[in-house]
């Protein structure tokens, strides 16, 4: 469905974000020569193996959907799990059987053939989103 001809109140907007978090051990490295004495200005903090968290969410004029959080990044298989476990129940709760259009951007997991096939098999109408477009979705402000 073309984004220029859609009623905004029928859209389920969605997006995900990645956050780097400082899990793991915080370490200190000393940077000084043999001639230097041990001073605090010689210490440099470092993080070993920072982890990343992904957060996915959806919203409509009817309210907010669920907000799953998981470690690591997202691929098409994991995205489909998010859609099954979080988007579908959120859509049922927010729209209560009324027709709606699902919006997501052109991230690779969203446009992967297994994702588009999954959406097609479930007859989920998807709002066409222009490639390389600025993020104009209202969920970007949340």
For residue 9, what pLDDT band results from cuts at 50, 70 and 90?
A: confident
In this structure, is residue 33 part of a structural domain?
no
Q: Is the pLDDT of residue 27 over 60?
A: no
In this structure, is residue 27 part of a structural domain?
no
pLDDT score at 1: 47
DSSP string, 67-111: --EEES---HHHHHHHIIIIIHHHHHHHHTT---EEE----HHHH
In this structure, is residue 117 part of a structural domain?
yes
Structural domains of the chain, count: 1
Range of the domain at 110: 3-17+57-141
In this structure, is residue 61 part of a structural domain?
yes
Q: Is the pLDDT of residue 22 over 70?
A: no
In this structure, is residue 132 part of a structural domain?
yes
d(CA 62, CA 60): 5
Render pLDDT for 108-134 as a digit per residue (tens, 0 to 9): 999 999 999 999 999 999 998 876 666
Average pLDDT for 87-91:
97
In this structure, is residue 90 part of a structural domain?
yes
Residue-averaged pLDDT of the chain: 81
Q: Which one has a higher pLDDT value, 53 or 133?
A: 53
- With DSSP H G I counted as helix, E B as strand and the rest as coil, what are the percentages for the chain, rounded to 5? 30, 30, 40
Indicate which CATH number applies to the domain containing 86: 3.30.420.10
For residue 3, what pLDDT band results from cuts at 50, 70 and 90?
A: very low
Which percentage of the chain shows pLDDT scores above 90?
49
In this prediction the pTM is 0.73
In this structure, is residue 127 part of a structural domain?
yes
């Amino acid at each position: 469905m073309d984004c220029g001809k859609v009623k905004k109140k029928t859209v389920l907007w969605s997006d995900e974000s990645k956050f780097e978090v400082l899990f793991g051990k915080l370490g200190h490295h000393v940077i000084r020569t043999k001639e230097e004495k041990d001073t605090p200005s010689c210490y440099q903090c470092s993080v070993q193996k920072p982890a990343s968290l992904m957060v996915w969410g959806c919203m409509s004029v009817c309210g907010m959907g669920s907000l799953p959080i998981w470690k690591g990044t997202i691929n098409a298989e994991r995205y489909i799990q998010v859609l099954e476990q979080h988007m579908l129940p959120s859509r049922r709760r927010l729209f209560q059987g009324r027709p709606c259009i699902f919006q997501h951007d052109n991230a690779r997991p969203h446009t992967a053939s297994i994702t588009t096939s999954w959406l097609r098999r479930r007859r989920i109408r998807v709002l066409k989103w222009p490639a390389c477009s600025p993020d104009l979705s209202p969920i970007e402000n949340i």
